[in-house]
Chain A
Amino acid sequence: MINIDWNHLLQVALAAIVGGSTVVALFSLGIRLLVNAGAAKLNSASGSISEIRKEAANRAAAYVLFALSFGAIIFGVLLIIPGLIPAAA
């Protein structure tokens, strides 16, 4: 009897579309913030404290976003190992 498990296919679609977009969005935001930090650095050449702060904040947030996107990937890989993460079994 042919029994197609559409639910499994849906899971693949969700993992790819939602998971993939999330990772790419986090990484892209990180890049955006790094560019912002670069612009603030140029502006801070005049000695503006607010620009120096802006640079530091943008850069720190960018690294957090890079770490999050990397973490999301690691989590995704761990999900496929049987029994490692109970909810995924």
Chain B
Amino acid sequence: MDATVVVVLVVALALFFDFTNGFHDTANAMATPIATGALKPRTAVAIASIMNLVGAFLSTAVATMISVSMIKDASTLNPAIIFAGLTGAILWNLTTWFLGLPSSSSHALFGGLIGAVLASAGLDGVDFGKIIDKVLIPALFAPVIAGLAALLATRIAYAITRRVKEDDLSTGRGSFRYGQIFSSSLVALSHGTNDAQKTMGVITLALVAGGLQADGGHVELWVVIAASLAIAVGTYSGGWRIIKTMGKGLSEVKPAQGLAAEIATAATILASSKLGFALSTTQVASGSIIGSGLGRKGGTVRWSKAGQIVLGWVFTLPAAAAVGALSVLLVNLGSFGIIVDAIVTLAVIVAIFQIARRNAVTHKNVASEIEEASEAIVLLKRKKKSDSKGSKGRK
């Protein structure tokens, strides 16, 4: 099959992946301001969409990390390998989404790509040092950093607005919801700076592999525009799900706590995007929600729930790598293999969307992983002080 045709297939699939990423993550940014009534659902979704679009234009550090650093020499690769990696990522991502298993789109993407390159080019194909430095170490630390930042920010917000006198009428904490208009917009912006970049990186990788671009050191403007539009449209389309779930059991996140968590999330992601760390934005946001829950009086972690979430994260990369490697076996058969791989992927996409559409929208299948993370926190109102200190110490 002509290399250019495969590159076109990669571009289409990568943009589809980008779209689903936006679709999936709208709730991460906008669920709380809608729940607290700070923004009308349609306004919130429109803002999230525009902010993602803007964010995607701000930097290309993460994209070039993928196209230059992670894969050693893309020009020696066949675009079919990138195609295989991408289908592996999409298959794993959609299957876990369908089964309700915690996962990370970003790690599925890296896993799929790494698995595909390893299966075709061997151990020398990928730069493990860069993967550890720019993907694995940030994956480990960024949620903890965001959690600590959110914990501290929540404590600060509550301390500053505490009642000084017994008869103080109001703490004004409800006003934090107006701040959330900005903080949630910032989360959407940071989402664009990190997640849209991953698509740009993969497309650039395919262009270099297909001989259509000399090296992966820069990202073509049309790639930036296409990727940012795909994530923005995805974000906008994902909005209906949030609108439908309102009142279906969003867990209680107070405005002050939500603002602290969102600022912590956005600061962590923005700084990481600047330095080319490719993060799972969902993991960072989950870390913040857990941290801010701990920052509230009597907040303590349900470790079994938190453990489940973390286990899902750990599993994603190797599992998607295995699917990516299997896809490579298929595409190595030549044009026939590529066509079969494309048909299998398309069939799974269509089947899962059909089934998902038929199922009723409920709290369980709509709520984001952030919701899952917030379930890992319990507030023990009358807990003894020494106990809550113990839980802090473990964090």
Which A residues are closer than 8 A to B by beta carbons? 1-5, 8-9, 11-13, 15-17, 19-21, 23-25, 27-29, 31-32, 34-35, 38-39, 69-70, 73, 76-77, 79-82, 88
Contact = CB atoms under 8 A, between A and B. Distances in A.
Contact of A23 (B146, B263, B277): B263
The size class of the interface chain B forms with chain A is 35 or more
B260 interface: yes
Contact of B267 (A19, A69, A88): A19
Contacts, number: 130
Contact of A28 (B141, B156, B274): B156
A69 B58 CA distance: 21
A38 B170 contact: yes
B221 interface: no
Interface of B: 58-59, 61, 128-129, 132-133, 137-138, 141-142, 145-146, 148-150, 152-153, 156-157, 160-161, 168-173, 175-176, 179, 182, 186, 189, 193, 256, 259-260, 263-264, 267-268, 270-275, 277
Nearest to A24: B153
B142 A12 contact: yes
Contact of B268 (A15, A27, A79, A88): A15
Q: DSSP majority for the A interface?
A: helix
B146 A82 contact: no
Contact of B59 (A38, A69, A81): A81
A-B pairs with lowest CB-CB distance, top 8: A15-B271, A28-B160, A35-B172, A16-B149, A24-B153, A80-B274, A2-B129, A16-B268
A18 B106 CA distance: 27
B272 A12 contact: yes
9 contacts: A1-B129, A5-B133, A15-B270, A32-B161, A32-B172, A35-B170, A35-B171, A38-B170, A70-B182
B59 A80 contact: yes
A76 B183 CA distance: 13
Specify which of A25, A79, A88 lies most central, judged by the most chain B CB atoms within 10 Å of its CB: A25
A27 B179 contact: yes
A16 B143 CA distance: 11
A82 B160 contact: no
Given A9-B138, A27-B179, A20 B267 contact: yes
B278 to A, nearest CB: 13
Contacts of A79: 270, 274
Contacts of B145: 9, 12-13, 16-17
B268 A31 contact: no
B194 to A, nearest CB: 10
A17 B277 contact: no
Contacts of B186: 73, 77
Nearest to B160: A28
A31 B275 contact: no
Contacts of B273: 80
A34 B174 CA distance: 12
Contacts of B153: 20-21, 23-25
Contacts of A77: 58, 186, 189, 270
Nearest to B271: A15
Given A5-B133, A69-B179, 17 more contacts: A2-B132, A12-B141, A12-B268, A13-B148, A17-B152, A20-B150, A20-B268, A24-B259, A24-B263, A28-B156, A28-B157, A31-B160, A34-B172, A79-B270, A79-B274, A80-B58, A82-B61
B29 to A, nearest CB: 15
